[in-house]
């Protein structure tokens, strides 16, 4: 009898799903974008009611494309971009809009924690900084600003946790998500510090039960089956953070493996067993053994989102051209950027359109275009934005490299803007490290389906991912271009140091006059 597996992933800008067979071959794939709401400074939200309706669309489309019998699906895996938060009431209905990973509204709550609990204590427990605005600080914001709505909260879930709730009726989180609840979540014991939770005034009852990523947490209910077209009783795995899902699916299963995404965020991950965590980085449990394996994840908040911003706001011609030529608007932007020399003729961008994560952790930082002159054109700006993401990621990479932690080269470029050849060339030269591209970039839902296969015993372990993946388009770094980029990187770093105090002053003015 045939066995099939379903993976569903929710990013910051859209959701995707795939169905694979028991040989890890993809039979069908589906994608939907959804809007990001940024109507107030520092806020970044989704309409959570779209999550489930889109899940039903994706699943039905994948079933139709694959032509399989839903009864032959033997497992489901889920993932989402984190931190995210979906608040639900006792009837499992969403309360207010959902937080996505670009939300930075809880600045007062972060400052309270720094003043009253202390960053050292929080890092010692969680292995992570609280500046990432994880779920716990967002719950504090809800308590302080919408107390009546806060009283209605039954559980605070991640996006994938909400999807599992709709599929199984059970409120759950996985070990990789724990780091994105953070503050009181202990990365080593995989439990929340209840004393600290009491001190900060958040009820432990709002937190869903935690499971290893590889565990089965429930089965598809009759109601979920009716809405999705699935069969009742399909096992559902505990799930994983979306970057882990993408990297698992592209063969990152061994200690030292490194992969990079240029999705809404730009990030890369390095797998390690050593339970030592860097204060300027993000760390969480890794899927392949979520009880004892970790991944360090340097992240720039608006990576691929920079190009989406350029496309959506300044590229009507490219969008219209999509209808006339067999190329996406992003490919057309690539072609424009390729005309410009490395260094963008003296144009430097700080890519902090929604604050910044590693390694500077500055919620007040915003985008800067430096060196703009009448000789610069839109293609200069497109290339400079690509280069700025490379600088932001390199800033973290050099710190990790200096620790001597094991890294298996080449760097594997995976999702999002990684398909851009010019962006990969910029990354290769800036990092001065060889890179390769994943040939089949189904991405996170593929890793979710593999997780479902391991959780249900269809796959004995995650090695199937390494066996199936194919890497192509290897690039070697150009020494002279690397040297040029390092000169510009110095300007990039100096620029931030010179304006960082002004970012906060600007935020205060914006709040004063809004």
Q: What is the pLDDT of residues 142-187, one digit of tens each?
A: 999 999 999 999 999 999 999 999 999 999 999 999 999 999 999 9
Residue 463, classed as helix, strand or coil, is helix
Q: Are 450 and 248 in contact (CB under 8 A)?
A: yes
Q: How far apart are the first and last CA of the chain?
A: 63
Torsion of CA 135, 141, 147, 153, to 10 degrees: -10
Average the pLDDT over 25-51 and give the result.
95
Would you say the CATH fold of 300-438+478-513 matches that of 4-250+441-463?
yes
Give the whole-angstrom CA distance, residue 60 versus residue 225. Answer: 11
> Domain map of the chain by residue range?
4-250+441-463, 300-438+478-513
Q: Are 282 and 298 in contact (CB under 8 A)?
A: yes
Average the pLDDT over 418-433 and give the result.
97
Please say whether the structural domain 4-250+441-463 has been given the CATH code 3.30.420.40. Answer: yes
Give the whole-angstrom CA distance, residue 196 versus residue 244. Answer: 28
Q: Is the pLDDT of residue 310 over 90?
A: yes
- DSSP conformational letter for 365: -
Q: What is the pLDDT of residue 131?
A: 82
Phi-psi region of 140 (alpha: psi -120 to 50; beta: other; left: phi over 0): alpha
Tokens of 75: 């497992």
470-501, pLDDT tens digit by residue?
999 999 999 999 999 999 999 999 999 999 99
Phi-psi region of 467 (alpha: psi -120 to 50; beta: other; left: phi over 0): alpha
Q: Among 279, 417, 255, 280, which residue's Cα sits nearest to residue 269?
A: 255
Q: What is the pLDDT of residue 15?
A: 97
Answer positive or negative: Cα dihedral of 95, 100, 102, 108.
Answer: positive
Q: CB neighbours of 491 closer than 8 A, spacing ≥ 6? A: 348, 370
Q: What is the pLDDT of residue 264?
A: 84
343-398, pLDDT tens digit by residue?
999 999 999 999 999 999 998 999 999 999 999 999 999 999 999 999 999 999 99
Q: What is the pLDDT of residue 287?
A: 97
Does this model's pTM top 0.85? yes
Give the whole-angstrom CA distance, residue 373 versus residue 258. Answer: 38
Q: Could you tell me what percent of the chain has a pLDDT over 90?
A: 94
Q: What is the pLDDT of residue 441?
A: 82
In terms of C-beta density within 10 A (0-12 exposed, 13-18 middle, 19 or more buried), how is residue 313 classed? Answer: exposed
Helical H runs in 153-287?
159-168, 175-181, 194-200, 222-228, 242-249
Torsion of CA 235, 101, 184, 213, to 10 degrees: 20
More confident residue, 126 or 263: 126
Phi, psi angles (nearest 5°) of residue 75: -170, 155
Helix, strand counts (H, E) of the chain: 18, 25
CATH pick for 300-438+478-513 out of 3.40.50.10860, 3.40.30.10, 3.40.50.12500, 3.30.420.40: 3.30.420.40
The pLDDT mean for the chain works out to: 96
């Amino acid at each position: 009898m045939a066995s099939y597996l379903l993976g569903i992933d929710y990013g910051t800008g859209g959701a995707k799903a795939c169905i694979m067979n028991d040989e890890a071959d993809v039979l069908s794939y589906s994608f939907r974008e959804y809007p990001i709401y940024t109507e107030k400074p520092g806020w970044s939200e989704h309409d959570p009611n779209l999550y489930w309706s889109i899940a039903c669309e994706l699943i039905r489309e994948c079933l139709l494309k694959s032509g399989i019998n839903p009864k032959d699906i033997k497992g489901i895996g889920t993932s989402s971009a984190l931190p995210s938060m979906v608040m639900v009431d006792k009837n499992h209905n969403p309360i207010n809009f959902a937080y996505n990973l670009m939300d930075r509204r809880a600045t007062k709550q972060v400052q309270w924690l720094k003043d009253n609990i202390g960053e050292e204590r929080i890092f010692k427990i969680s292995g992570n900084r609280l500046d990432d605005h994880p779920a716990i600080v967002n719950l504090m914001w809800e308590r302080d600003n919408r107390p009546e709505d806060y009283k209605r909260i039954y559980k605070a879930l991640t996006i994938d946790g909400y999807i599992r709730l709709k599929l199984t009726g059970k409120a759950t989180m996985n070990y990789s998500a724990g780091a994105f609840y953070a503050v009181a979540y202990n990365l080593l014991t995989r439990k929340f510090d209840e004393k600290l939770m009491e001190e900060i005034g958040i009820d432990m009852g709002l937190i869903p039960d935690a499971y290893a990523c590889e565990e089965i947490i429930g089965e598809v209910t009759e109601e979920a089956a009716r809405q999705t077209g699935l069969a009742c009783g399909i096992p559902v795995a505990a799930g994983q953070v979306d970057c882990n899902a993408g990297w698992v699916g592209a063969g990152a299963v061994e200690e030292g493996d490194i992969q990079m995404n240029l999705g809404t965020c730009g990030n890369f991950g390095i797998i390690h067993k050593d339970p030592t965590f860097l204060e300027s980085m993000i760390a969480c449990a890794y899927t392949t053994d979520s009880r004892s394996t970790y991944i360090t994840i340097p992240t720039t908040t608006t990576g691929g989102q920079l190009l989406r911003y350029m496309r959506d706001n300044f590229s009507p011609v490219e969008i219209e051209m999509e209808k006339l030529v067999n190329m996406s608007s992003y490919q057309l932007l690539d072609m424009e950027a390729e005309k410009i020399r490395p260094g963008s003729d003296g144009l430097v961008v700080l890519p902090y359109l929604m604050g910044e994560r590693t390694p500077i952790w500055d919620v007040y930082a915003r985008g800067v275009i430096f060196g703009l002159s009448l000789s610069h054109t839109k293609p200069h700006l497109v290339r400079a934005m690509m280069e700025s993401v490379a600088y932001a990621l390199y800033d973290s990479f050099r710190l990790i490299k200096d620790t001597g932690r094991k890294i298996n080269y080449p760097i594997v470029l995976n999702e999002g803007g990684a398909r851009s050849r010019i962006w990969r060339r910029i990354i290769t030269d800036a990092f001065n490290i060889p890179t390769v591209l994943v040939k089949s970039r189904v991405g996170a839902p593929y890793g979710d389906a593999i997780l479902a296969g391991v959780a249900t015993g269809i796959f004995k372990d995650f090695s199937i991912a390494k066996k199936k993946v194919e890497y192509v388009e290897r690039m070697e770094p150009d020494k002279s271009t690397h040297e040029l980029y390092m000169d510009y990187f110095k300007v990039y770093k100096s620029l931030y140091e010179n304006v960082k105090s002004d970012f906060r002053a600007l935020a205060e003015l914006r709040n004063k006059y809004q």
